[in-house]
Amino acid sequence: MIIVVAGWWSSCREEECDQTMENRARLSFYTVKDGSQVDSTIPNLVIYPETRPDSLLYDSLDRSNVDLPLNPTHHISRFIFMIDSLADTLEIAYAREQVFVSHPCGFATNFQINKANISHQHFDSVKILNNRVDLNEDEEHINLYLSPPDTAAGR
């Protein structure tokens, strides 16, 4: 009986750590129409880290936003966005800060985004809204603005 209780206690703590240890940057897609910013959906979006083309983060999904994991061991993360067999590269440069979460979980990495650049196959521009990526999962960090023909706005 003690083994079962100990296993249950351990698994609860592991779940807590899984939820708090990975800070992701949230990107939302927009188009500017008639001077107004409009939420947009990218059909058949594929995203993977530049250094790991075999590790798809998103595969053929219609998305209006994505959450991307920043690399906690580097100061730059690059992601490839494939749309209609054309690739765009998003580069996010940031400072890292190690923060203590708890004794069972250890440390997490918070990020301070300094700069973001996107190539211009499908994207017009990029804007940093909130440069602090930490444990607040609901924050929007970066807006990517699409060229109008590359969107399915209002879906």
DSSP letter string, 7-75: HHHHHHHHHHHHHHH--EEEEEEEEEETTEEEE--EEEEEEEETT-TTS-SEEEEEESEEEEEPPTTSS
pLDDT digits 0-9 by tens, 42-59? 888 999 999 888 889 988
Tell me which residue of 155, 142, 144 sits closest to 26, measured CA to CA: 142
Least confident of 20-34, 77-91, 106-120: 20-34
Residue 43 CB burial class (10 angstroms; 0-12, 13-18, ≥19): middle
pLDDT reported for residue 12: 45
Of the chain, the percentage scoring pLDDT greater than 90 comes to 43
The model scores a pTM over 0.95? no
pLDDT per position as a tens digit, 2-46:
444 443 334 444 556 655 567 899 999 999 888 888 888 888 899
